[in-house]
Each structure stands twice: as structure tokens, then as C-alpha cells.
């Protein structure tokens, strides 16, 4: 056995804690807000692809877990994205096919490409 595996000094071990006593939520009953909406098997007790971690984090930072703070606008915070633009797949790998990095379909009329900027004359005031 190699000496590099013979560790004699104490080390700190960090573990992610997952409560395995909580059974998984059926797909039809999943709530994107996880624990905040009463779905205990979701974020932060494990991370499912359909958990809206940004909305959950924003609301927790705003204090919705503290009595008296779970009121508007704290419990309405979010990033405006409530689901994926491509549906989830029922089996593994669960995530839909990613978009091409070369094709941009959003807001095509207002998009200026790098070549458009290269053609535009520029002046620098000194």
C-alpha cells in the first residue's frame, strides 16, 4: 500500500446531511418550492431537478421562516422563472435536450451579433 494513503493526522470530514427517513414525493404531488410549500423531500433535503432553488433561497433570505415575516412581498419573491422551457423527461437523465450554443432564438430582431459590432465604426475621444 502506498504511503500517501497512510494518513495518521486527524482530518475534518464534511458531509451533506440527507434525511433518509423522509419518503420521496410522487411526481404528481411535487411542489417547486420544496420545504416552503410543505414538500419535505425537496430542497434543502436533497436537490431535485424541478426544485426552484432560486425562489426558495430568495424567500428564505427575506425571512419567510421567521414568524411575522411570511407576508407579502417576502413570500412572493422570485426570479420569474417557474419552470424549464423544455419539459422534463420521465426517466433518467430527467433533463431535456440542451439548447444549441450557436443558435439564439429569443428576441432575434433585436440581437446584434459580434460581426455587426465589428462593422460599426467607432471613435475614441482622448
CA atoms within 13 A on the CB side of 21: 1
User: What pLDDT score was predicted for residue 107?
Assistant: 57
Q: Report the pLDDT value the prediction gives residue 9, as an integer from 0 to 100.
A: 62
* Chain segment 3-45, per-residue pLDDT in tens: 566 566 666 666 667 778 888 888 888 899 988 998 888 877 7
Cell of 57: 433561497
Dump pLDDT digits (tens) for 75-119.
Answer: 999 999 888 888 888 788 888 888 777 776 665 555 445 454 444
User: What is the distance between the alpha carbons of residues 12 and 15, in angstroms, rounded to a whole number?
Assistant: 10
- pLDDT value at position 28? 85
Amino acid at each position: 500500500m502506498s504511503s500517501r494513503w497512510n494518513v495518521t493526522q486527524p482530518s475534518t470530514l464534511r458531509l451533506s446531511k440527507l434525511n433518509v427517513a423522509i419518503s420521496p414525493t410522487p411526481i404528481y404531488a411535487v411542489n417547486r418550492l420544496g420545504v416552503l410549500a410543505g414538500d419535505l423531500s425537496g430542497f434543502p433535503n436533497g436537490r431535485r431537478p424541478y426544485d426552484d432553488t432560486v425562489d426558495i433561497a430568495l424567500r428564505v433570505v427575506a425571512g419567510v421562516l421567521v414568524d411575522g415575516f411570511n407576508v407579502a412581498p417576502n413570500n412572493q419573491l422570485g426570479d420569474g422563472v417557474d419552470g424549464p422551457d423544455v419539459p422534463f423527461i420521465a426517466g433518467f437523465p430527467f433533463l431535456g435536450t440542451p439548447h444549441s450554443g450557436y443558435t439564439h432564438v429569443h428576441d432575434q430582431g433585436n440581437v446584434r451579433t459580434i460581426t455587426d459590432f465589428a462593422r460599426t465604426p467607432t471613435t475614441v475621444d482622448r
